[in-house]
Amino acid sequence: MKRPDFVTLRLFVAIADERSLTRAAEREHLALAAVSKRISDLEDQTGISLLYRRPRGIELTPAGHAFLHHARLILTGLSRLDADMSEYRVGIKGHVRLHANTSSVIEFLPDDLGDFMDRFPQIRIDMKERLSHEIVTAVRDGLADIGLYAGHVPAEGLEARLWRRDRLVLVVPQDHPLAGASSVALEQALDNDFIGLEQDASLQALLQAGARRFDRPLRMRIQVRSFEGICRMIDRGMGVGVLPLRAVNAERHGLRLATIPMTDGWALRELHLVVRDHDALAVPARQLVDHLLRCGERDPGTPAFSAS
C-alpha cells in the first residue's frame, strides 16, 4: 500500500466529520473534483472501499472507521510534533520527562522544580503524577527519563539513589482519643476505621504489610485518590489515616486535625530517584537529576546520599 499524504488524511477526517464530500471540500478549500479524485485514489491504494455513497450523504464502511482511527492518531501526533518543534524555535533547549508519586509532588517538587525553572527557563519539564510501581515501569520502558518514587518498591536493573526521607504520622480528628498522644504505633490504631489511598498505592501497601505483622486486618472504610481527600474525611470524623507529615501540613489549613508521630520502623520512609542510565541521559535530564540530588542534600530531613 502506498502511504497516503497528510492532505489526504486531513481530507478523510473532514469527510467523516461532515458526512459530505461537498462540505469537506469547502472546509479544506479544495475543488470537489479534486476531493473525489483523492478519495478514489486512496481506495485504490488500500484496495478496499472506505465510504458508502448514499443519496443523503457519506457513511464510513467498517474499513473506513478503522482508517479514520489511524488518520486521527497520525494527525494528532503531527500536531504534537509541530507544537514541540515550535518551542525549540522560540528558544526551548531541552525536554525532560519526569514521573513522580504524590508525596514527591506535594512535599518537595514545587520548591525544587521552581528553583530549577528559574535557573533553566529554556528546559521544558513534562511531569506526570503516577503510582510508585508505575513510575519504575515507565523509567524501565523508556517512557520517563527520571522517576521519584517510594523506596520500598523494587527497581531491579535501574540506577536508584536515595533522594529524600519523609516521616509518616497518624492523622486523627482533634477530638479523637489518640489526639493527645506523644507517639503511637500502628497496632494501637488498628481498632479504628481507616481512610486511605487506592489499593495499588505504595503507601497503602506499606500499611497493609504493617497490619499483617500483628495478624490484624486494616479496616479500610474509604479509599480515595488524594491526600487532600483523606484529610477532609478525617476532619469530618469518618476515620483515621497515615500520611506524610509534610503532606498533612500542606493540606490541613482550616481542618481540625491532629498528627501523632509513629514509632513503627517503616514510618521513616525513603523516597528514591531512579533513572535507567545516568551517563546516557541527555544533558537537560542530567542537569535536573543533579539539581534534585543537591536539593535533597540541603534538606535537613535527608541524610547524605548513597546508592540504593
Reported as a pLDDT band with limits 50, 70 and 90, residue 67 is very high
Report phi then psi at 170, rounded to 5: -85, 130
The percent of residues above 90 in pLDDT, for the chain, comes to 71
Q: Give the per-residue pLDDT at 239.
A: 96
Mean pLDDT, residues 57-86: 87
Q: Tell me if 252 sits within 8 A of 116, measured CB to CB.
A: no
pLDDT band at 307 (very low <50, low <70, confident <90, very high): very low
Residue-wise pLDDT tens digits, 226-285: 899 999 999 999 999 999 998 899 888 889 999 999 999 999 999 999 999 998 888 889
Tell me what the mean pLDDT of segment 87-116 comes to.
85
What whole-number distance in Å separates Cα of residue 41 and Cα of residue 25?
16
Work out the end-to-end distance of the chain between its first and last CA atoms, rounded to an integer number of angstroms.
Answer: 51
Burial tier of 58 (Cβ tally within 10 Å: 0-12, 13-18, 19+): buried
pLDDT of residue 303: 42
Q: Give the residue from 27, 12, 16, 28 showing the smallest Cα distance to 58.
A: 16
Q: What per-residue confidence (pLDDT) applies to 100?
A: 97
DSSP state at residue 280: G
Q: Please write the tens of the pLDDT for every residue from 73-95.
A: 999 888 877 766 765 665 557 88
Contact status, residue 201 vs residue 131, Cβ threshold 8 Å: yes
How many Cα atoms are found within 13 Å in the side-chain-facing hemisphere of 159?
A: 11
Right CATH number for 166-267 from 3.40.190.10, 3.40.50.300, 3.40.50.2300, 3.40.140.10?
A: 3.40.190.10
What are the angstrom distances between the C-alpha of 287 and each of 160, 279, 291, 292, 293? 16, 11, 6, 9, 10
pTM of the model: 0.64
Instruction: Name the DSSP class of 240.
Output: B
The answer to whether domain 79-163+269-298 and domain 166-267 are alike in fold is yes
What's the pLDDT score for residue 89? 62
**pLDDT for residue 306:** 32
Q: Which fold has domain 79-163+269-298?
A: D-Maltodextrin-Binding Protein; domain 2 (3.40.190)
CA distance 133 to 86: 34
Q: What is the pLDDT of residue 86?
A: 65
Extents of the domains making up the chain: 6-74, 79-163+269-298, 166-267
User: Which CATH code for domain 6-74?
Assistant: 1.10.10.10
User: What's 3's DSSP letter?
Assistant: P
pLDDT at 282: 85
Residue with cell 472546509: 27
Distance CA 227, CA 166 (A): 15
Average pLDDT, the chain: 89
Please tell me the predicted confidence (pLDDT) of residue 298.
85
Question: Average pLDDT of 19-37?
Answer: 93
Segment 113-167, tens digit of pLDDT = 999 999 888 888 999 999 899 999 999 999 999 999 999 899 999 999 999 998 9
Comparing 306 with 254, which gets the higher pLDDT? 254
Give the pLDDT of residue 283: 84
